[in-house]
Amino acid sequence: MKTLVVGGAGYIGSVVVRLLLAEGHAVTILDDLSTGHSDSVPDGVELVVGDISTAGDVLRGNGFDAVLHFAAKSLVGESVVRPSLYWHTNVIGSRALLDAITEHEVPRLVFSSTAATYGEPDVVPITEDTPTRPTNTYGATKLAVDMMISNECAATPLAAVSLRYFNVAGAAWGAGERHTTETHLIPIALDAADGRRDKLDIYGDDWPTPDGTAVRDYVHVADLARAHVLALTAADPGEHLICNLGNGNGFSVREVVSCVEDVTGLPLPVAAAPRRAGDPARLVASADRAKARLGWEPEHDLRRMVADAWEFTRSR
C-alpha cells in the first residue's frame, strides 16, 4: 500500500515505518519534528516537515491507500496543566486530518490510541468493553478522537482501526525511545542504572499487589509495529475496530527493577516516593480481540524489551 505516516519520525512511528518498508509498503512521513527526529527517517523515505493540519496538502492528488496516525502530545502531567495545548493538537489536529482523509477518499486509517482512555478501571484485565473514564486531559483527547473516528466510519466508507496501547517499551531495527522529557519506567530505570540519573523513584510501595509496587502491562515496540501492519487490512469499510495492545501479563515496578539489574549487570538505586494521584494499583490488558481480529500475538517478553532498550541506549 501507499501509506502516509503522520508522526512517523517519533518513537513508535519510526519503528512502524521500518516494518512497513520491510513488508513492501511505500511510505511518506508527515512530522513537525516537535518531538520526532529527522535522523530517525530511513533513507529513501520522503519526510514532509509540517503540522498535522497540513495533511491535506500531502494527500491531495497522491492516491494514498492508508493513513497511520501517530501525531499527538502525550505527556500526562503536561496535559493536566496545559489542557488547551492537548485539545488543540490532539483533537483539532485530528479533526483536520479526518477531513483531509474524507476529502481525498483515503480508504483506511490506523490510529494510535491509548489505555489512558480507560482511566482507573474497576476490573482487570481491561477489555475494549471496559467503561472509558479518562482521568487526565491526554486520555480525554484520545477518547475524543476515537469517538470522532467512530462517527466518521458511520457516515463514510472509511475502514479504521484504533489501537489502544498499554506500556510500550524496547527498540527495534535501529529505532528506539529518544524523548526530551522521559516519563516511561524502563528508560528511566536504565538511565539510573547507568548513572545518568541519581536514582529511580518508586511511587508507592504499599499498593495491594504481591510486592507492594504498582503493576503494569508492557508490550514490545516491535510487536506493536506488527499490529499496525496487520491493522491495515483488518477493518471493513464503514467499520471502526478498537483493539487493546498489551502482553496480557502484568509486571510490578520491583520486577522491572530486578530485570534491569539483571540485563545491565549494574545496581539500580531506588527510593520510595509517595503515590501519585490517579495512579491505579494494577493495569493489565486483555488482547483477545487483537488476537481474534488482527491475528496478533505478542512475541517478546519483559527481558527482551529491557535488553533491546539497553542496547539502543548504549548504541547512542
DSSP state of 89: I
Does residue 277 have a pLDDT over 80?
A: no
Are 103 and 202 found together in one domain? Answer: no
Residue numbers of the domain that contains 89: 2-169+218-246+287-299
Are 131 and 200 found together in one domain? Answer: no
Are 67 and 125 found together in one domain? Answer: yes
Does residue 316 have a pLDDT over 90?
A: no
Are 30 and 139 found together in one domain? Answer: yes
User: Please, which pLDDT band fits residue 224 given cuts at 50, 70 and 90?
Assistant: very high
Does residue 228 have a pLDDT over 90?
A: yes
CATH number at residue 161: 3.40.50.720
Average pLDDT, the chain: 95
For the stretch 75-103, pLDDT in tens is 888 999 999 999 999 999 999 999 999 99
User: Please, which pLDDT band fits residue 110 given cuts at 50, 70 and 90?
Assistant: very high
Nine cell digits for residue 9: 519520525
- pLDDT for the residue numbered 305: 97
Does residue 267 have a pLDDT over 80?
A: yes
For the stretch 278-309, pLDDT in tens is 788 899 999 999 999 999 999 999 999 999 99
Are 81 and 179 found together in one domain? Answer: no
Are 6 and 119 found together in one domain? Answer: yes
Strands ordered across the beta sheet of 159-165: 46-49, 26-31, 2-6, 66-69, 108-114, 159-165, 240-245
- pLDDT for the residue numbered 77: 86
pTM of the model: 0.96
Q: Which residues contact residue 108 at a Cβ distance below 8 angstroms, ignoring those fewer than 6 apart?
A: 1, 65, 66, 67, 158, 159, 160, 232, 233, 235
Q: Is the peptide bond before 125 cis (omega within 30 degrees of 0)?
A: yes
Does residue 153 have a pLDDT over 80?
A: yes
Are 103 and 203 found together in one domain? Answer: no
Q: What is the mean pLDDT of residues 199-224?
A: 96
- pLDDT for the residue numbered 256: 97
Domain count, the chain: 2
CATH number at residue 180: 3.90.25.10
Are 90 and 159 found together in one domain? Answer: yes
Are 145 and 253 found together in one domain? Answer: no
Are 28 and 158 found together in one domain? Answer: yes
Are 230 and 275 found together in one domain? Answer: no
For the stretch 156-209, pLDDT in tens is 999 999 999 999 999 999 999 988 888 899 999 999 999 999 999 999 999 999
Q: What is the mean pLDDT of residues 243-265?
A: 96
Q: How far from 6 is each of 75, 166, 289, CA to CA, in Å?
A: 18, 20, 25
Gap between the Cα atoms of 134 and 164, Å rounded: 13
- pLDDT for the residue numbered 253: 97
- Active-site residue (options: 11, 138, 165, 218): 138
Helices (H), 129-269: 137-155, 185-193, 221-231, 253-264
Clarify whether 138 is annotated catalytic: yes
Does residue 244 have a pLDDT over 90?
A: yes
For the stretch 36-58, pLDDT in tens is 999 999 998 999 999 999 999 99
Are 110 and 186 found together in one domain? Answer: no
- pLDDT for the residue numbered 148: 98
- pLDDT for the residue numbered 280: 83
